[in-house]
Amino acid sequence: MCARRVAIVSAAYTPKPGSSRVRQTFKEMIVESAYKALKDAKMHPREIQAVAYGYHGEGISEYGGLGPTISDALGISPAPTFMSTANCTSSSVSFQMGHQMVASGEYDIVLCGGFEKMTDHFNYAEYIGSSTECEYDYFLGISHTDAFALATAEYFQKFGYAGREADVLATFGRQMRIYAQNTPTATRYGQPIPSLEVLKNSEACGSMLAWGEASGCAILVAEHLAHKYTDKPVFVRGCAYTGVSHYFGTRFHNPTLHHPGLPKDVGMAVSANSIACAEIAYKKAGITAKDIDVAQVYDLLGAGLIQMESMGICGKGQAGDFVLEGGIALDGQLPLNTDGGNIGRGHASGCDGILHITELFRQLRGESDNQVKGARIGVSQNLGGYAAHNSVIVLSND
């Protein structure tokens, strides 16, 4: 168990993470987001004792050994920067690293976050596609993004949504656009909301990510320092990070995955790793799925549906109907991705987790542009590869 409580006192990211920043280096993006968070907390950079930062992987940036580079760019050397490379889960992992660093008593103030840069070199698509067990899949022509399509098709076939697939995906995608339209930092901010019919005839029925570049960060402090920097701290209640093989075959049979109570009926449409991760995080936080007021999940094609079920928000096979019935809307049973998610806010792989955290931070302080009334507990679920990495982080305002 961790020795002391940890609070988030500030969180920020570079606006419109689903767009490119050709004229900025990754260092400039990191500094922009970090100094925005520092300014909001009225904190001097030299108060930062350590940094935990993530990015998709060294192949993505073509720049190795980034820790000292980030410390130097932030102007805080010789304070250390610890790095994580966990695909789309990278900044969720760096957040958990920062949490452990403060909770353990080793540091009192840690800046954590992540970044994604995709326009600095020609091989980005090839590098990001290799987030797999390469010798068994990617080198044979299939990537983790293909796995999302396979999982979505299996989900709809397995749970009786034949003929309604486009309705579910378009309804989900439209709700993400509704949230994003009202979120100034979102990529689709202010854009007109297409009709369901238009979305049903668009790419992936409107459920495709808005790819881009961004950096985001949060500042974590020991509880006794929280009110020095903010009147409305948000606390980390519990978190978990789990991992299984990237190889898709293990979604059907994985003899190395050990966790009590996992369903025997698995496959691409049931993520055992995600279920285990949520259960571990909930136990640490002392909550159940019924306690969640607002949530953020990884949304690409049917992944959002599968993750909602993994988190216990819906029963198996029920997430599609939950979406169609308005369950994820602001006045629904559980508002989901209230900043627009990866579809509306934007998807910048290395900082996706911090984008989640920033919106939950706003929600639990009563400052979201799509505010959930009385929100007290927020949960981030994030994945990397095809659910090879899983992160669940539980936050509360008390």
Cα distances from 39 to residues 11, 72, 170, 236, 387, in angstroms, run: 10, 19, 39, 22, 35
| The predicted structure's pLDDT at residue 59 | 64
* Domain annotation covers residue 150: no
Distance of alpha carbon 49 from alpha carbon 51, whole angstroms: 7
- Tens of pLDDT, residue by residue over 200-215, are 999 999 999 999 999 9
- Cβ–Cβ < 8 Å for 299, 172: yes
* Domain annotation covers residue 35: yes
Provide the residue range defining the domain that includes 110: 6-123
The mean predicted confidence, pLDDT, of the chain is 93
- Cβ–Cβ < 8 Å for 296, 361: no
Higher-scoring residue by pLDDT: 53, 250: 53
| The predicted structure's pLDDT at residue 125 | 67
- Tens of pLDDT, residue by residue over 304-321, are 999 999 999 999 999 999
Which letter, b or e, does each residue of 10-31 get, where b requires 16 or more Cβ atoms within 10 Å of its Cβ? bbbbbbbbbbebeebebbebbb
When divided into structural domains, the chain yields a total of 1
CB contact set of 15 (below 8 Å; sequence gap of 6+): 184, 185
| The predicted structure's pLDDT at residue 387 | 86
pLDDT at residue 1 tops 50: no
Distance of alpha carbon 42 from alpha carbon 250, whole angstroms: 48
pLDDT at residue 322 tops 50: yes
Q: What's the rounded mean pLDDT across residues 321-337? A: 98
Higher-scoring residue by pLDDT: 299, 144: 299
115 pairs with which residues across the strands?
55, 215
| The predicted structure's pLDDT at residue 247 | 85
Beta 109-116 vs 50-55: how paired, if at all?
A: parallel
- Tens of pLDDT, residue by residue over 253-302, are 877 778 887 776 678 898 889 999 999 999 999 999 999 999 999 998 89
* Domain annotation covers residue 374: no
Beta 389-396 vs 377-384: how paired, if at all?
A: antiparallel
For residue 215, the one-letter residue type is S
Task: Retrieve residue 327's tokens.
Answer: 């369950």
Whole-model pTM: value is: 0.95
Q: What's the rounded mean pLDDT across residues 169-187? A: 98
| The predicted structure's pLDDT at residue 126 | 67
Higher-scoring residue by pLDDT: 323, 249: 323
CB contact set of 163 (below 8 Å; sequence gap of 6+): none
| The predicted structure's pLDDT at residue 201 | 94
* Domain annotation covers residue 211: no
φ and ψ at 380, to 5 degrees?
-105, 130
* Domain annotation covers residue 84: yes
In the block, tokens 């190795």 appear at: 64
Host H or E run for residue 361: helix 352-364
pLDDT at residue 2 tops 60: no
Distance of alpha carbon 263 from alpha carbon 163, whole angstroms: 27
* Domain annotation covers residue 95: yes
Q: Is 239 exposed, middle or buried (0-12, 13-18, 19+ CB in 10 A)?
A: buried
Give the domain CATH number at 108. Answer: 3.40.47.10
* Domain annotation covers residue 169: no
* Domain annotation covers residue 226: no
Distance of alpha carbon 26 from alpha carbon 143, whole angstroms: 26
| The predicted structure's pLDDT at residue 265 | 63
| The predicted structure's pLDDT at residue 264 | 66
| The predicted structure's pLDDT at residue 182 | 97
Host H or E run for residue 83: strand 81-84
Q: What is the dihedral of CA 278, 243, 60, 13, to 10 degrees?
A: 20
Q: Report helix, strand and coil shares of the chain as percent, to nearest 5.
A: 40, 20, 40
